[in-house]
């Protein structure tokens, strides 16, 4: 059980959907305010008296006092809960802040602050990170409402005579850096609050009612930083060049970083971003890292006592500089990389980018994933300048190429409800709106952390299932409106059903992802692998059949006999290139699905064989039954109309394959790995354009290599296992499931021979 | 340590079992999350019969704390294992398994449809314990705990959906639906 507000797992409580976070937003802060007319009465005596009437063990409880309240309550004087508690010997008077005199110390503090800031980015609270810095605390504690007020309030010091370099170090250079850093935190918080993220889980936006210089503009702060840089550059600053360089790089980075964090989508579309500038300055910070001297005494947990908070005290988190440096460098690189989506190059390419980018290990930071959501869709615009409907329809066209008449711009001009064009337009408008919402949600969901992605996909497929049914109806109506000619497919007269076909394809992919992510997140136990790969293989086989069907309907001339043929606009007619593109997309998607299906099939046989040989064991499981556990596993899919969940008995027989000999089974697995490998090899040879990976070729190829590695790893395991059976040495074999060195969706069993038990030690003499 | 000194009993109420303070400090030492007295009272006063203690003589050495209630209005009768702790020096003797079994058995008697809990993904001992009783991991919860660790939700079905729905006497598919999310797991 998780405790306190932090641990609540309430999806609603954590989900931020606020478009524009306003100042003074709600926090968990409790302020006790009372009207001036209120009069207070001491009820202690009354309370004590009433308690006398209670028996030991008797409890008075308000029915509205739920577990939520119980868990959220803090106990005063409990060191685990009371952040204001003073341990014996501790005292509450704020100790004087050490005032550094050396530039090395300033460099050290700046780097410690970067560590704190990145610890915050990495999921810790401000109260554990940035706010524990006594200088940040000092600067913010008087609640500055202008830049002039945002300064340190320190007792006079001999060493810091006004105007002296030591004074400038503190009151100009460190101050400018701190002010810049605080503003960076504010920008990051605003970004994260603007999109879907999970509070406490991905990120803690809580500021404890401390204003992060909300009222000071970025340009004012940048000016302050510039004047600090100019001072360092001037003759008045008596420090060696390398020290000057270190200070300047840190100040300049802060200025540039703040500028980048403050950009809106419009500026990004106009290609005004300069993350490269940040990356260059970071390398200087890395090189000059050793010039700094850490000053640990300017960070203190005692700051938490002052923060208005209903969460228990939490320890200081300050990751090592190297780690912080990696995080900030990656953040800048990733933030630059996601700008690629603004160069729109088709819907399939866009989806590939989202999938590959967010699957990266370690996952890109919450900030970057939030920014990616904003780039994708904000202010009713996709990618800063497009209608979402445009991308949606392109996605449909790239795969299914529906009849030209559905996209004729003349449809929209018709105002007569009885007109065919008008009726087509109404339906397409409905589709763009209805499917558009699901489509946006899918992109946003892909940007969530991996655990949430899997959980949320379980909801999404229910929506896509409903969408599929709704679209089937619309497809039926459209096919009558355009007098679509049926086509013979698999001995059946059939229609294209383009919109619902497209929806079905996406639904199947999401169903596959749910199970694949189950492997990635280690939700399944090895003895369940065979069954779960069976389901994947089942979904993939269904998708392959569906793609074959789609392919059948992607050809020129689909729209030839429409009653609208005579008045059709030229621009809506699919070109030979459009047809070829859709065919290529279907073929590529078929190949990819086939490759995955082969590898899944290999895994079914391999893990079934391992279970038969007793090398993968099922735990005892005295409670529940296998069929109920199956039901639990299938829970996300039980309500999905098509494909059906297979009855448990059938499922068991299909996975166990009792009629196939183990060696034969391994033989079949080996064939599957070979086929899979062939397909993955073919995929590797395809260009980024044909693979729809032009926005993320590197990540796409890396992923393919990982699939191949799993294929090869499975092949090796199959050979070793077959050999052990033939040589009758299965008893000497040891199996370890390797989740780490292969594709996260295809963990591979590592098969080795048991080390022979060491010879018994010679007993000591005389016993 | 003599094994025969170890006894098990249900908590029932504070009158019959004056162990509340011992119980608090045992759990406080054993688990990372801090809980207020209200949390203990919340569970013990409503489901004291689903809380089991392991005692060595008079000393409290292990405890399991649970609840059992309808999950949403027409949902499953859901058992929840909130806390499980065994004193370090008594671990590895199957006491935790015994405590959990007692709790599950009591839940079965009280017609539970399912039992759920969360555990830290790094707590391999606990995960193994539950998986050896028949639990499955149903989902991973990212950074679920205050210390930043992720959790697995572990689930044990005690009845199939059809049975559970029949027993509930309604055709609400709430229990069936793919949604595992909306549940306000204030736990």
For A339-363, the pLDDT digits (tens) are 999 999 999 999 999 999 999 999 9
- State in Å, rounded, how far the first CA of chain B is from the last one: 35
pLDDT at residue A214, as a whole number: 95
pLDDT at A744 over 80: yes
CB–CB contact B143 A200 (8 Å): yes
How far apart are the C-alpha atoms of A167 and A161, rounded to whole Å?
6
Answer yes or no: is pLDDT of A8 > 50.
Answer: no
A631: nearest CA partner in chain B: B160
Give Cβ neighbours of residue A643 (< 8 Å, ≥ 6 apart). Answer: A508, A538, A539, A542
Which chain A residues are Cβ-neighbours of B151 within 8 angstroms?
2
Q: At A30, is the pLDDT very low, low, confident or very high (cuts 50, 70, 90)?
A: very low
Closest C-alpha among B19, B7, B39 to residue B186: B39
Q: Helix axis angle, A175-194 relative to A103-121, nearest 10°?
A: 10
What value of ipTM does the predicted structure carry?
0.88
Q: What is the pLDDT of residue A62?
A: 83
The answer to whether A9 touches B144, Cβ cutoff 8 Å, is yes
Note the pLDDT of residue A68. Answer: 85
CB contact under 8 A, A525 and B142: no
Task: Find the closest chain A residue to B173 by CA distance.
Answer: A639
Average pLDDT over residues A71-89: 81
CB contact under 8 A, A71 and B185: no
Q: Which residue of B has its CA nearest to A77?
A: B36
Q: DSSP labels for A392-458? A: HHHHHHHHH---GGGG-THHHH---TTSHHHHHHHHHHHHHHHHHHHHHHHHHHHTS-HHHHHHHHH
Provide CB contacts within 8 A for A734, sequence distance 6+: A615, A751, A752, A753, A754
Three-class DSSP labels, A345-381: CCHHHHHHHHHHHHHCCCCCCHHHHHHHHHHHEECCE
CB spacing of B138 vs A56 below 8 angstroms: no
Separation in Å, CA of A476 to nearest CA in chain B:
29
User: Left if phi > 0, otherwise alpha if psi is -120 to 50, otherwise beta: which for A655?
Assistant: alpha
Q: Report the pLDDT value the prediction gives residue B138, as an integer from 0 to 100.
A: 97
Class of domain B3-175 as given by CATH: alpha beta
Measure CA of the first residue to CA of the last residue in chain A; give whole Å.
53
**Greatest Cα pair distance in chain A:** 110
Given a cut of 90, whether residue A313 has pLDDT beyond it is no
Taking CB atoms and an 8 Å cutoff, what residues of chain B touch A314? 146
The per-residue pLDDT for B4 is: 63
Answer yes or no: are the C-beta atoms of A634 and B177 closer than 8 Å.
no
Does the pLDDT at position B2 exceed 80? no
Distance CA A399, CA A502 (A): 7
Q: What's the pLDDT score for residue B13?
A: 81
Q: What is the mean pLDDT of residues A480-490?
A: 87
Rounded to whole angstroms, the Cα distance separating A339 from A375 reads 8
Number of H helices and E strands in chain A, helices first, is 26, 6
Map residue A766 onto helix, strand or coil: coil
More confident residue, A722 or A739: A722
Quick check: B146 and A639 CB within 8 A? Answer: no
Q: Is A246 exposed, middle or buried (0-12, 13-18, 19+ CB in 10 A)?
A: buried
Percent of chain A, pLDDT > 90? 77
Report how far Cα A195 is from the mean position of its chain's Cα atoms. 12
Higher pLDDT, A15 or B147: B147
**Residue B183 pLDDT exceeds 50:** no
Distance of CA A524 to the CA centre of its chain: 21
**CA of A450: which chain B residue's CA is closest?**
B142
* Three-state SS at A705: helix
> The tokens 């009272």 sit on which residue?
B41
* Cis peptide upstream of residue A540 (ω within 30 degrees of 0): no
State residue A761's pLDDT score. 56
Question: Residue B184: pLDDT band by 50, 70, 90 thresholds?
Answer: very low
Please report, rounded to a whole number, the percentage of residues in chain A having pLDDT higher than 70: 93
Does the bond joining A362 to the residue before it have cis omega, within 30 degrees of 0?
Answer: yes
- Residue A282 contacts residue A253 (beta carbons within 8 Å): yes
Any idea which of A96-105, A291-300, A570-579, B49-58 has the lowest mean pLDDT? A570-579
Spell out which residues of chain A touch residue B118, defining contact as CB-CB under 8 Å.
Answer: 1-2, 9
Residue A756 has pLDDT above 70, yes or no: no
Select from A57, A78, A631 the Cβ nearest to the Cβ of B15.
A57
- Cα–Cα dist A356/A373, whole Å: 15
Residue A84, pLDDT score: 78
Taking contacts as CB-CB distances below 8 angstroms, the residues of chain B near A202 are 142-143
The number of helix segments (H) and strand segments (E) in chain B equals 5, 7
For chain B, the structural domain boundaries read: 3-175
For the stretch A107-145, pLDDT in tens is 999 999 999 999 999 999 999 999 999 999 999 998 999
- Give the mean model confidence (pLDDT) for residues A57-71: 83
- Cβ atoms of residues A637 and A464 within 8 Å: no
Query: Which residues of chain A make contact with B131, given a CB cutoff of 8 A?
Result: 525, 619, 621
- Interface contact flag, B38 A8, Cβ < 8 Å: no
Which residues of chain A make contact with B133, given a CB cutoff of 8 A? Answer: 620-623
Q: Residues of A195-222 as b/e, b for ≥16 C-beta within 10 angstroms? A: bbbbbbbbbbbbbbebbbbeebebebbb
How high does pLDDT run on average in chain A?
Answer: 91
Of residues A6, A202, A623, nearest to B156 (C-beta): A623
Angle, alpha carbons A609-A612-A614 (nearest 5°)? 110
Q: Is residue A4 over pLDDT 60?
A: no
Q: What does the pLDDT look like over B123-171, one tens digit per residue?
A: 999 999 999 999 999 999 999 988 889 999 999 999 987 666 555 544 3
Q: How far is the alpha carbon of A283 from chain B, nearest alpha carbon, in Å?
A: 30
Interface contact flag, B187 A67, Cβ < 8 Å? yes
A55, A67, A311 member nearest B186 (Cβ): A67
Q: Does A38 have pLDDT greater than 80?
A: no
Is the pLDDT confidence value at A631 over 60?
Answer: yes
Q: Is A700 helix (H, G, I), strand (E, B) or coil?
A: helix
The Cα–Cα gap between A256 and B9 comes to 65
pLDDT per residue as tens digits for the range A712-727: 999 999 999 999 999 9
Residue of chain B whose alpha carbon sits nearest to that of A626: B134
Asked whether residue A735 carries a pLDDT value surpassing 90, the answer given is: yes
Q: pLDDT tens for residues A318-341?
A: 999 999 999 999 999 999 999 999
Asked if A56 contacts B15 with a C-beta cutoff of 8 angstroms, the reply is yes
Q: What is the CA radius of gyration of chain B?
A: 17
Nearest CB partner across the interface for B139, out of A312, A455, A627 = A455
pLDDT of B168 reads 53
Per-residue model confidence (pLDDT) at position A216 = 96
- Whether B179 shows a pLDDT value over 60: the answer reads no
**Long-range CB contacts (< 8 A, 24+ apart) of A567-574?**
A567/A410, A568/A404, A568/A405, A568/A408, A568/A410, A569/A408, A569/A409, A569/A410, A571/A409, A572/A404, A572/A405, A572/A407, A572/A408, A572/A409, A573/A404, A574/A397, A574/A401, A574/A404
Residue contact A202–B142, C-beta within 8 A: yes
Q: Do B104 and A627 touch (CB under 8 A)?
A: no
Average pLDDT for residues A479-493, to the nearest whole number? 87
b/e per residue, A114-141, with b = 16+ CB within 10 A? Answer: bbbbbbbbbbbbbbbbbbbbbbbbbbbe
Per-residue pLDDT band at B17 (split at 50, 70, 90)? confident
Does the pLDDT value for residue A467 go beyond 80?
A: yes
* β B114-120/B151-157 pair status: antiparallel
Q: Measured between alpha carbons, how far is residue A331 from residues A75, A282, A286, A423, A682 in Å?
A: 39, 11, 15, 48, 34
Instruction: Retrieve residue A492's tokens.
Output: 């059946």
Question: Tokens for A223?
Answer: 């000016």
Q: Is the pLDDT of residue A5 over 60?
A: no
Q: Give the A window 51-70 contacts with B, CB below 8 Å.
A: 55-57, 59, 61, 65-70
Chain B residues whose beta carbon lies within 8 Å of the beta carbon of residue A10: 184-186
- Residue A32 is predicted with a pLDDT of 47
Q: How far is CA A175 from CA A138, A140, A152, A254, B67, in A?
A: 11, 11, 7, 12, 53
Q: Do A638 and B13 touch (CB under 8 A)?
A: no
3-state secondary structure A443-504: HHHHCCCHHHHHHHHHHHHHHHHHHHHHHHHHHHHHHHHCCCCCEEECCEEECCCHHHHHHH
User: Contacts of residue B187 in chain A, CB cutoff 8 Å?
Assistant: 1-2, 9, 67, 71
Encode pLDDT of A500-543 as tens digits: 999 999 999 999 999 999 999 999 999 999 999 999 999 999 99
Question: Quick one: what percent of chain B has pLDDT higher than 90?
Answer: 60
Task: Kindly state the DSSP code that residue A296 receives in the 8-state scheme.
Answer: G
Exposed (0-12), middle (13-18) or buried (19+): which is B125, by Cβ within 10 Å?
Answer: exposed
The pLDDT score that the predictor gives to residue B3 is: 54
For residue A192, the tally of other CB atoms under 10 A from its CB is 23
Please answer whether residues A393 and A432 qualify as being in contact, where contact means their C-beta atoms are separated by less than 8 angstroms.
Answer: yes
Which residues from A are below 8 Å from B180, CB to CB? 455, 458, 635
Residue of A nearest to B40 (CA): A70
């Amino acid at each position: 059980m998780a405790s306190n507000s932090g641990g609540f797992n309430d999806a609603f409580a954590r989900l931020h959907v606020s478009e524009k976070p306003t100042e003074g937003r709600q926090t968990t802060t409790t302020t006790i305010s009372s009207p001036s007319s209120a009069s207070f009465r001491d009820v202690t005596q009354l309370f004590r008296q009433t308690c006398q009437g209670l028996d030991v063990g008797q409890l008075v409880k308000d029915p509205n006092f739920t577990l939520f309240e119980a868990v959220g309550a803090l106990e005063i004087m409990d060191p685990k809960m009371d952040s204001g508690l003073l341990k014996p010997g501790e005292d509450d008077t704020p100790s004087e802040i050490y005032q550094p005199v050396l530039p090395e110390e300033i460099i050290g503090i700046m780097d410690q602050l970067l560590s704190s800031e990145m610890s915050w980015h990495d999921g810790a609270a401000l109260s554990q990170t940035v706010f524990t810095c006594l200088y940040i605390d000092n600067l913010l504690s008087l609640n500055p409402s202008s830049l002039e007020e945002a300064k340190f309030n320190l007792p006079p010091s001999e060493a810091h005579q006004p105007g002296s370099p030591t004074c400038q170090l503190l009151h100009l250079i460190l101050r400018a850096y701190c002010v810049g850093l605080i503003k960076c935190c504010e920008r990051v918080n605003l970004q994260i609050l603007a999109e879907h993220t999970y509070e406490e889980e991905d990120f803690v936006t809580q500021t404890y009612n401390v204003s992060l210089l909300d009222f000071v503009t970025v340009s004012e702060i940048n000016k302050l930083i510039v004047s600090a840089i100019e001072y360092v550059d001037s003759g008045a600053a008596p420090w060696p060049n390398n020290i000057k360089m270190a200070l300047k790089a840190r100040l300049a980075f802060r200025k540039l970083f703040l500028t980048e964090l403050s950009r809106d989508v419009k500026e990004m579309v106009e290609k005004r971003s300069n993350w490269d500038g940040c990356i260059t300055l970071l390398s200087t910070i890395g090189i000059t890292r050793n010039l700094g001297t850490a000053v640990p005494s300017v960070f203190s947990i005692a700051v938490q006592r002052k923060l208005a908070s209903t969460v228990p005290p939490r320890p200081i988190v300050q990751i090592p500089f190297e780690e912080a440096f990696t995080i900030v460098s990656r953040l800048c690189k990733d933030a630059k990389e996601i700008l690629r989506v603004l160069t729109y190059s088709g819907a399939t390419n866009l989806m590939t980018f989202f999938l590959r980018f967010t699957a990266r290990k370690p996952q890109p930071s919450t900030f970057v994933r939030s920014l990616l959501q904003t780039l994708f869709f904000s202010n009713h615009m996709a990618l800063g300048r497009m209608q979402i409907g445009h991308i949606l329809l392109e996605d449909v066209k790239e795969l299914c190429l529906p009849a030209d008449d559905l996209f004729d711009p003349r449809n929209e001009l018709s105002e007569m409800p009885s007109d065919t064009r008008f009726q087509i337009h109404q339906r397409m408008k409905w589709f763009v709106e209805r499917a558009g919402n699901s489509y946006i949600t899918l992109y946003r969901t892909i940007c969530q952390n991996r655990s949430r992605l899997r959980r949320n996909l379980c909801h999404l497929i229910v929506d896509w299932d409903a969408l599929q049914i709704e679209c089937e109806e619309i497809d039926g109506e459209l096919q009558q409106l355009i007098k679509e000619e049926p086509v013979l497919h698999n001995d059946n007269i059939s229609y294209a059903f383009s919109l619902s076909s497209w929806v079905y394809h996406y639904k199947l992919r999401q169903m596959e992802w749910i199970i694949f992510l189950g492997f990635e997140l280690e939700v399944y136990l090895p003895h369940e692998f065979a069954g779960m790969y069976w389901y994947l293989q089942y979904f993939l086989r269904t998708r392959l059949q569906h793609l074959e069907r789609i392919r059948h309907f992607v050809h020129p001339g689909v729209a030839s006999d429409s009653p609208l043929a005579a008045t059709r606009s030229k621009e809506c007619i699919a070109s030979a290139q459009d047809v070829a593109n859709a065919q290529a997309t279907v073929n590529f998607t078929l190949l990819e699905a086939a490759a995955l299906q082969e590898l899944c099939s290999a895994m079914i046989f391999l893990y079934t064989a391992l279970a038969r040989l007793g090398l993968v064991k099922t735990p005892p499981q005295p409670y529940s039954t296998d069929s109920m556990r199956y039901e639990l596993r299938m829970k996300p899919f039980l309500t999905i109309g098509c494909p059906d969940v297979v009855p448990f008995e059938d499922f068991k027989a299909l996975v166990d394959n009792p009629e196939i000999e183990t060696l034969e089974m391994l033989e079949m697995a080996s064939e599957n790995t070979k086929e899979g490998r062939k397909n993955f090899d073919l995929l590797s040879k395809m260009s980024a354009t044909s693979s729809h990976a032009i926005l993320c070729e590197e990540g796409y190829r890396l992923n393919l290599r990982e699939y191949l590695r799993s294929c090869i790893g499975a092949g090796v395991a199959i050979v070793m296992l077959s050999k052990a059976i033939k040589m009758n040495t299965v008893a000497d074999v040891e199996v370890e499931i390797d989740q780490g060195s292969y594709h996260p969706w295809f963990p591979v069993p590592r098969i080795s021979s048991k080390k022979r038990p060491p010879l018994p030690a010679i007993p000591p003499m005389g016993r | 340590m003599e094994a025969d000194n170890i006894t098990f009993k249900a908590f029932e109420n504070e009158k019959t079992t004056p162990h509340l303070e011992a119980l608090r400090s045992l759990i406080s030492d054993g688990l990372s999350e801090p809980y207020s007295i209200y949390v203990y009272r919340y569970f013990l006063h409503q489901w004291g019969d689903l809380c089991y203690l392991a005692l060595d003589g008079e000393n409290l050495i292990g405890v399991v704390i649970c609840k059992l209630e309808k999950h949403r209005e027409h949902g499953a009768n859901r058992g929840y294992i909130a806390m499980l702790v065994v004193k370090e020096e008594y671990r590895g003797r199957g006491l935790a398994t015994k405590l959990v079994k007692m709790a599950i058995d009591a839940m079965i008697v009280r017609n539970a449809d399912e039992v759920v809990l969360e555990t830290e993904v790094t707590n391999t001992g606990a995960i193994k314990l539950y998986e050896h009783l028949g639990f499955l991991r149903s989902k991973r919860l990212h950074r679920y705990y205050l210390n930043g660790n992720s959790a697995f939700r572990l689930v044990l079905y005690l009845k199939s959906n059809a049975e559970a729905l029949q027993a509930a006497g309604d055709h609400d598919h709430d229990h069936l639906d793919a949604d595992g999310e909306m549940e306000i797991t204030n736990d």
